[in-house]
Amino acid sequence: MEVHAHSHTARKKWTHYFWEFLMLFLAVFCGFLAEYQLEHKIEREKGKQYLQSFVEDLRTDTSILTDLINQYEEKITALRSMYDCFQVIQKNPSDSCILTLFYHSSFFPDLINTDRTLQQLKNAGGLRLIPAEAADSIIVYDKLLRQFQKYETTSYQEVQTAIRTTLYSLNKFGGTGHAPVQITPDGELLNKYFNQLYIYSIGSEGNLRDLRIIKSRAEGLISFFTKKYHLK
């Protein structure tokens, strides 16, 4: 019988396994870093898109705010004539000055801002994709808008509703002649209307001041974002 000797493979040293593990670890780690960098780049691009969209919304808002400011300036100018009109109207109930006051106290323009990007930033987690400084500025702007709209739809609207009710009671339907408006001879009702008009004018001036602040903030954000983040 012939006996064959078994061949033995040389046993690898522990350092060999260590280097194999290290190379595998480095390969996985580098792959992770590459994926992280790609994801981070995509998020930065998405964040920049949000800022660009928000700047476009701000440009629309500034146009809306300019129009509202002009309407409030016209309203307040007209309301300032209430003192002289009150003296005149007691002598001549059909004087046209009361018609001007009726018109400018019967309604107010609503602030309806462009909030498509704001809603996405708040509801879709977009704020985390933009720099903290930019996010903080956007939050402040949003707060200004919400505070104004809250006052507009509560306290100011209540005054508007009350004064409109008095206005309807004050106007006498079917007046004689060609007078643009005829008011009832009720002195108490007339006094009530002008007292309400005074409160309404104060609220209107406050709205005008706040609208100017919001517009200034919007213009500042447009300038800041376009320069800081190289937007269009």
Judge whether 106 lies within some domain.
yes
Q: What is the pLDDT of residue 173?
A: 66
Give CA–CA dist 50/58, Å, rounded. 12
Judge whether 108 lies within some domain.
yes
Instruction: Say yes or no to pLDDT of 136 above 60.
Output: yes
Judge whether 9 lies within some domain.
no
Average pLDDT of the residues of the chain: 85
Q: What is the pLDDT of residue 183?
A: 74
Judge whether 25 lies within some domain.
no
Q: What would the mean pLDDT of 157-175 be, rounded to a whole number?
A: 85
Give CA–CA dist 82/96, Å, rounded. 12
Band the pLDDT of 123: cuts 50, 70, 90. Answer: confident
Instruction: Say yes or no to pLDDT of 76 above 90.
Output: yes
Residue 175 contacts residue 94 (beta carbons within 8 Å)? yes
Judge whether 26 lies within some domain.
no
Question: For residues 70 and 229, which has the higher predicted lDDT (pLDDT)?
Answer: 70
Instruction: Say yes or no to pLDDT of 69 above 70.
Output: yes
- Provide the residue range defining the domain that includes 209: 46-228
Other Cβ atoms less than 10 A from the Cβ of 95: the count is 17
Band the pLDDT of 192: cuts 50, 70, 90. Answer: very high
Give CA–CA dist 212/177, Å, rounded. 43
The conformation of residue 230, written as its DSSP 8-state character, comes to T
Instruction: Say yes or no to pLDDT of 95 above 60.
Output: yes
Give CA–CA dist 21/137, Å, rounded. 48
133-137, 173-177, 189-193, 220-224: segment of lowest average pLDDT: 173-177
Judge whether 11 lies within some domain.
no
Instruction: Say yes or no to pLDDT of 175 above 90.
Output: no
Judge whether 76 lies within some domain.
yes
Give CA–CA dist 130/139, Å, rounded. 12
Q: What is the pLDDT of residue 114?
A: 92
Q: What is the pLDDT of residue 180?
A: 54
Single-letter amino acid, residue 141: Y
- At 18-56, the pLDDT tens digits run 677 767 777 676 666 656 565 556 567 888 888 999 999
Residue 212 contacts residue 76 (beta carbons within 8 Å)? no
Judge whether 41 lies within some domain.
no
Q: What would the mean pLDDT of 82-94 be, rounded to a whole number?
A: 86
Q: What would the mean pLDDT of 106-121 be, rounded to a whole number?
A: 92
Question: How many domains does the chain divide into?
Answer: 1
Give CA–CA dist 118/141, Å, rounded. 10
